[in-house]
Amino acid sequence: MIFNLKGKSALLTGASGGIGSAIAKALHAQGAELILNGTRLVELESLAAKLGNRALVLKGDLNETNGINDLAEEAERMSDNGIDILINNAGITRDNLLVRLSDQDLMDVINLNLVAGFHLTRKILRGMMKRKWGRIIGVSSVVGITGNAGQTNYAAAKAGMIGFSKALAHEVASRGITVNNIAPGFIKTPMTDGLSEEQVSKLQTSVPIGRLGEAEDVAAAVIYLASSEAGYVTGTTLHVNGGMAMP
């Protein structure tokens, strides 16, 4: 089977969201052992129950360094042979124009979308280096490339993920570890379900393919980057946006 992940353990943050759950299903379908992280326990347990075997729940908040360290250690204990694949997918938005953006909303977004990934990756990385194999994948965003009015905090965090990954890719390439990002464009999730037909139509006009993306489009990119077939790909960002940005 191409992109076979049997025998690999994956830690997925933000697993209960629309994109997160699609990633979880795709990883599981390819044979990976999953540790599903998030803050919404009911949703995580429901997802794990649907997946069945090889899906474990690890509830935890990524807002505090000590909590992240504890979470990483518990994930290593829960996996059979340590974490092979880390997907930094957790994120939030707190949109506003910069002149109206509160310090709290600035730091909440920077901390969860960017800083938490620093801490979690640093902790998980040690085991990967010992085993000389690993895949670190960040879910960034098209706005980290293009920018977007009202999202200075979010765009800065997502652009920071890309710079972080490029630097880390240089540091760990010789250890058999790749570090990459996926930058989704407009993706249909429960968050977009509340948009009117007019709003959806306006969004679609900016996408050359002419539709919003599906969460499964992002999940497919994760599967590729997590696989052995992508072993010669590192420090890159895979743009999954229907052509709306072609950097």
Annotated catalytic residues are: 154
Q: State the Cα–Cα distance between residues 237 and 247, nearest whole angstrom.
A: 10
Task: Tell me which residue of 174, 47, 156 sits closest to 111, measured CA to CA.
Answer: 156
Identity of residue 13: T
H/E element holding 178?
strand 177-184
Looking only at the bridges linking them, the beta strands covering 85-88 and 9-12 are: parallel
Joined together, the tokens standing for residue 216 give 């499964």
C-alpha triplet 74, 80, 84: angle, nearest 5°: 80
Checking 44-51 for CB contacts under 8 A at 24+ apart, the result is 44/15, 44/16, 47/15, 47/16, 47/21, 51/24, 51/25
Burial of 15 (0-12, 13-18, 19+ CB in 10 A): buried
Q: Which residues pair with 181 in a beta bridge?
A: 138, 237
